[in-house]
Structure 1
Amino acid sequence: MDDETNVLNALRRALASIPASRLGGEELLIEMFTDPRTALERCEAVPFSLLMSDFRMPEMSGVEFLARSIASQPHVPRVIVSGFADRDAIIAAINEAQLTRFIEKPWNDAELKSAVVTILTATDGRSASSFASEASARHEMDRLELEDPGITEVKRNPDGSINLDLDLDLDLDQDLD
């Protein structure tokens, strides 16, 4: 996410050159946005493996964008790419947006690619696609929980058996023919 198209194009070129072999055989799928609201809408619809944003943008800061993305993508690593390197602002960004990494502009392509590969494969050697699959499953669990609170929880009886608590009105004296 960046408000400058030329920066997005440079990021796309650098990231698209990461060989699939460095990501567990999976091709990197890249989506770019210049509008933070559109990016947030997409975050609500699709699970991502990594979110990356510029720090300073006119409509919404990168920190605000990444902090807002936590609601729909709580477990996804977040990266700020910026030429703005104020120490206090970086610390605030790390805390507020739960940053995984801060990358300075202008970036070195090899270092940028290495950082992305490290982030995407840092989940115990899992590939980017397995991370995305887990993110998709978490996204679906969150959706189900919003739709029907408690549906994703397993209630257990003191003896460890599962408590189904079906709230059924059964007349046990009823004659079954």
Structure 2
Amino acid sequence: MAFSAVLAACGGSAKVVEAPMLAADASAAEDAPSALDNGTRGAHRDASTNSILVRGDRYVGHYWCAQGRTQLVLVIDDIEGDRVDVIFEFDFEGSPTAAPAEGSYSMRGTFDANTRTLRLKGDRWIDKVDGYVMVDLVGTVGPSGSISGNVVGVSGCTTFFVNAPRR
């Protein structure tokens, strides 16, 4: 079945295809709720800042869209106040109805440390894949540091989950 037929079957158009989600490593320690990095760019997490999100952290997991389950890596690129910049890397292994794809784009958004809500919007392509569009993410950072939530902005996309990074 052609890729455009798969999209049409999922309620999308031939131009809309799922984009990658955030993910992380399953062996992270518990993260205490606290303020964001407070502008200490490049600083690693320590007892004095007890940050939830830290520049350089890599979250690994997956997301679901029209093409199926897709591997996702979210890299925290920069943090300043409640602003968060990330790199969204995705890798779809392929299926009988969709070709393999690998790409990345930057995202910008906010993190509310009080509610632990992360909101990210696609910003610009780094490694564009024909037929794919950027998706937005809205999720919650759990007590263990993992992030889960919804893929928004594209018909046929549903949820994502990424594990907390090792520190």
TM-score (norm 1): 0.24
Higher strand share: 2
Structure (1 or 2) with the larger CA radius of gyration: 1
Higher helix share: 1
